[in-house]
Amino acid sequence: MKQILIINGPNLNLLGKREPTIYGNRSFVDYLKTIEELFPDVQLRYFQSNHEGELIDKIHELGFDVDGIVINAGAYTHTSIAIADALSAVTAPAVEVHISNVHARESFRHHSYLSAKCKGVIVGLGLTGYELAVRYLMSYKVIEL
Ligand code: DQA
């Protein structure tokens, strides 16, 4: 069974309560049930932390074993070279997800340190972005040239 790690960064524990006009009314824990139902053949691991070092530790811990990482690093996306380095260090392919369309928001949200370390980026599609990322990673294969 494929294993996919979903990582959410700071303030994403408040989904459903936090700025609902931007991030919606649904908590992530509730949405996770939907993803689990959509992908019964995938073993999903979920980790959320408000602390940069804990996010890095989790990438190190599971990033050599899982088949893919879906990461929404929240505001650390725009600041953290350390999380970018962690994604480079491990073998699992990663997809970066943002619930909101960061490019339609403040200019400080337009740059991501993580994008270059990811296979792709999904922004602005709400929580659906996570399931699209899982779907991609489920079928991801390293193409050996
Ligand atoms: C976010 C966008 C970030 O700019 C912001 O800091 C977040 C959430 C998103 O999912 O849209 O915390 O990553």
Q: What is the pLDDT of residues 52-104, one digit of tens each?
A: 999 999 999 999 999 999 999 999 999 999 999 999 999 999 999 999 999 99
State the CB neighbour count (10 A cutoff) for residue 18: 13
74 CA from centroid of ligand 1 (Å): 4
pLDDT of residue 143: 65
Q: What is the pTM of this model?
A: 0.96
Give the distance from CA 115 to its chain's centroid. Answer: 11
Task: Give the DSSP H or E segment for 37.
Answer: helix 28-38
Residues touching ligand 1 (Cβ under 6 Å) are 11, 72, 74-75, 77, 98-100, 102, 109
Structure tokens of 142? 């390293």
87 CA from centroid of ligand 1 (Å): 18
**Closest C-alpha to 66, from 115, 120, 134, 130:** 134
